[in-house]
Structure 1
Amino acid sequence: MYKIEVDERKKSFIVMVEGFIQEDEGLQFLSDYKSNVGKINPKEYSMVICGEGLVVSKKEMIPVLEQCISMYMDTGFKKYFGTYPKSAIAKMQLSKIVNEKNFEVVFKDTLGEVLSII
C-alpha cells in the first residue's frame, strides 16, 4: 500500500509505503508518482520517503526497489529525507540499496521528526 501527498506549505513531496508492493500496485504507483511530480517543481521541494511500515522484500523485488531509488534521485528534489522500516531486516535491505546507489538521504525515526526539520 502507498500514499502520495504534496504539502505545499512545507514544500514537501511525501511518499508513504507499507507492507508488500505487488506488481500491479507498483505500476499504479509509477503513474501516480509521475502525475504528482508533474504538478510541482521538484527543485523547490524536499522528498520524504516514509518506510516505517515496509516489510522484508522478496529477493526478486530488490531490483524494483533499486529502480525506485534511481527514479527518486533522477527527479531532482531539493533534499531527500526518509524514515527507516521498523523491521530490522527491511531496514538492512533498504540501507544496502541506499549505500550502493550513493543516495544522499537523511533518515529519522518518524515522519513527525522529518517534518519538524524541513
Structure 2
Amino acid sequence: MYKFEIDDKEKVLHITAEGFFKNDESTEFMEALYEIFGSIQATEYDLIVDLIHLNVIKQDLVYRIADAFELYDELGFRNIVIVNPISILAKVQLFNIARSVHFSGTFVDSLEEWQPR
C-alpha cells in the first residue's frame, strides 16, 4: 500500500509505502508518481519517502525501486529523505539499491533525525 500527500504550504511531497509491493502495485505506484511529479515543481519541494513499514522487496521488483530512486534524483528536489524500514533486511536491500544507482538522498531511521538544509 502507498499514498502521496502534497503540502503546498511547507513545500513537501510525502510518500508513504508499506507492506509487500506486488508487481501490479509497483506499476500503479510508478504511474501515480509520474502524475504527482507533473503537478509540482520538484526543485521547490522536499521529498520525504517514509518506508518504515515496508517489508522485504521481492527480487523481481528491485528494478522498480532503483527506477524510483533515479527519478527522485533526476527531478532535482531540494532534499530527498528516505525513512528506513524497521526490517533490517529491507533496509539493507534499500541501501544496496541506492548504492547501485548512486542515489543522493539521505537515509534516516526517523523523520526527527532529519533537518532541512
User: Structure 2 length normalisation: TM-score?
Assistant: 0.89
User: Structure 1 length normalisation: TM-score?
Assistant: 0.88
What does residue range 23-102 of structure 1 map to in structure 2 within 5 Å?
23-102=23-102
Question: Which secondary structure state, in structure 1, belongs to the residue aligned with residue 53 of structure 2?
Answer: strand
- The answer to whether residue 115 in structure 2 is matched with residue 117 in structure 1 is yes
Question: Which secondary structure state, in structure 2, belongs to the residue aligned with residue 14 of structure 1?
Answer: strand
Counterpart CA distance in 1 for 2:105 and 2:87 is: 19
Residue 37 of structure 1 aligns with an amino acid whose one-letter code is F
Identity percentage of aligned residues: 29
Question: In 1, are the aligned partners of 2:23 and 2:61 still within 8 Å (CA)?
Answer: no
Deviations along 1:42-66, one digit per CA (max 9) or x if unpaired, are 0000111111011111222212211
Question: Which secondary structure state, in structure 1, belongs to the residue aligned with residue 52 of structure 2?
Answer: strand
Counterpart CA distance in 1 for 2:12 and 2:39 is: 13
Residue 45 of structure 1 aligns with an amino acid whose one-letter code is Y
Following superposition, the deviation at residue 108 of structure 1 comes to 2.1
Following superposition, the deviation at residue 109 of structure 1 comes to 2.0
Counterpart CA distance in 2 for 1:87 and 1:27 is: 23
Following superposition, the deviation at residue 83 of structure 1 comes to 0.4
Following superposition, the deviation at residue 30 of structure 1 comes to 1.8
After the TM superposition, list the runs of 4 or more consecutive aligned residues in structure 1 that deviate by more than 4 angstroms.
Answer: none
Match of 1:106 in 2: 106
Question: Which secondary structure state, in structure 2, belongs to the residue aligned with residue 82 of structure 1?
Answer: strand
Counterpart CA distance in 1 for 2:68 and 2:86 is: 20
**Structure with greater strand percent:** 1
User: Alignment length, in residue pairs?
Assistant: 116
Residue 117 of structure 1 aligns with an amino acid whose one-letter code is Q
Question: In 1, are the aligned partners of 2:43 and 2:77 still within 8 Å (CA)?
Answer: yes
RMSD, aligned α-carbons: 1.6
